[in-house]
Amino acid sequence: MGRIVVISTGGTIASRWQGSGFAADADGSEVMATAPLPEGVTVEVVDLFRVNSPRLTTAHQLTLLRTVHEVLADPEVEGIVVTHGTDTLEESAFLVDLHHHDPRTVVFTGSQLPMGTADGDGPENLYDALLTAASTRGLGVLITFAGRVHAARGTVKTQAVALDAFADPSKELLGKIGFGKVTMLRSPRRPEPLALPAMPELPPRVDMVMHHADGDPVLLNAAVEAGARGIVLIGTGAGNATPEIVEAVRAAVARGVLVALTTRVAAGPVTEIYTHGGAVDLVAAGAVPTGTLRAGQARIAVLSALLASGEEGERARVLRQALSSDGPVLVDA
C-alpha cells in the first residue's frame, strides 16, 4: 500500500448543519477522522478549499489541478484521493484526467449525506477511495462511490439524492469494491494527456446553451456578445437543433468562438444523422461533436482547449484530442 495524499475541497462529505441547511465547513483532518484506513495505508492531508461544489470556479479547479501535479512530484506518494462535492465532481475529475500523465491513481469521492449522519455514506466512500488509490495503477483519474469504480471520462451524477449517485450511462461499469478488494472489470481508454495549462489572470468564459422546442439563437448569441470564447450547445436527440441555430453557430465560429455539440439525452453518442438544423448541419457549421461526453465535461474539454493555445486552428485540434477516446489503452497489465 503506502502513503496517500488526501486533498480536501469541501462538499457534502465536509458539511454540517448551518441553521437553515448544510454547508461545507469541516477541514480535511476532520473528514479523515470519520473513516478507517485500509491496512498498510498512511495519509497526509492537504486542505485546499472548504466550499460547496456549485460555488467552484475555473480558478478553483485549476488550483486543484496544479496541486495534484505538485503532490505527484514527490516520488514517495503512492496515490491521491480528492474529497469533493458531488454537484461538480464530474467536471473537476475530468479536468484532472485530461492533464494526468502519471501512472499513479487519482481518485475522486464524496458523499450524498453530510458528516455525522447516521449510516452516512462518507466514511465508506472515503475508505474505498483510499483503497483504490493505493492498489491500482495506470487507470488515470477515477471516481469511487457506493462501492463502484468509474472512469472520470464519461461519468456523471445520475441521482440527485440517492447514495449510488454516479454512472457512465453510455458504458459498462469499470470496477467494483468489496471485502477490502478492488476488482477492475474493464480497461478505460484515454487519449494522450494534455500539457498542464498556465494559470490565466482571467480564465476564458465558456457557456452552455440548451436547445428545446421553440428554441432560438437568442441565448447563444447573448453568450457570444457576453464574451464567451467557448460554447457548448446541448442539442436534442443525437445532437440536433434548428437552421437558425446552425447559422448562429456558423457566425460564432467565424468570430473565433470554439463550439462543441453535445446532447441532452442521457446516453449514446452525438451522431450526424439529420439535416435541416440537425447534427449534420451543425458540424458543417463548425461545431465539434463530443461523442458520449455530456455538457459539464464537454465544457471542461472546451476550457482545456482554450487554455492550451491562442491559435484558432490549434484550439480545435486540441479539443478534438481531448474528446477522443480512441487513443491507446493506458492501463498496466
Average confidence score pLDDT of the chain? 95
Q: What angle do CA 167, 45, 178 make, to 5 degrees?
A: 40
Task: Just give the CATH number of 2-184.
Answer: 3.40.50.1170
pLDDT in tens, 17-39: 999 999 999 999 999 999 999 99
> What is the CATH topology of the domain spanning 206-323?
Rossmann fold (3.40.50)
Average pLDDT rounded to a whole number, residues 259-275: 98
Q: What is the pLDDT of residue 263?
A: 98
Alpha carbons 230 and 228: distance in angstroms, whole number = 5
Q: What is the pLDDT of residue 309?
A: 81
Asked if 91 and 116 count as a contact pair (C-beta separation under 8 A), the reply is no
Query: What pTM was estimated for this model as a whole?
Result: 0.95
pLDDT at 328 over 80: no
147: nearest Cα among 161, 133, 166: 166
pLDDT at 110 over 50: yes
Q: Residue 268 — very low, low, confident or very high, per pLDDT cuts 50/70/90? A: very high
Least confident of 23-37, 64-78, 156-170, 314-328: 314-328
Q: What is the pLDDT of residue 330?
A: 36
pLDDT in tens, 131-164: 999 999 999 999 999 999 999 999 999 999 999 9
The percent of residues in the chain predicted with pLDDT above 90, rounded, is 93
pLDDT at 312 over 90: no
Give the cell for residue 196: 498542464
pLDDT in tens, 164-186: 999 999 999 999 999 999 999 99
Boundaries of every domain in the chain: 2-184, 206-323
At 210 the three-state DSSP class reads: strand
Alpha carbons 95 and 84: distance in angstroms, whole number = 13
192: nearest Cα among 305, 289, 327, 333: 327
222: nearest Cα among 243, 202, 251: 251
Q: Which residues are catalytic?
A: 12, 86
Average pLDDT rounded to a whole number, residues 220-228: 98
At 106 the three-state DSSP class reads: strand
- The secondary element (H helix, E strand) that includes residue 151 is strand 148-151
78: nearest Cα among 46, 43, 128, 126: 43
Q: Is 179 exposed, middle or buried (0-12, 13-18, 19+ CB in 10 A)?
A: exposed
149: nearest Cα among 196, 186, 114, 99: 186
Domain 2-184 and domain 206-323, same fold? Reply is yes
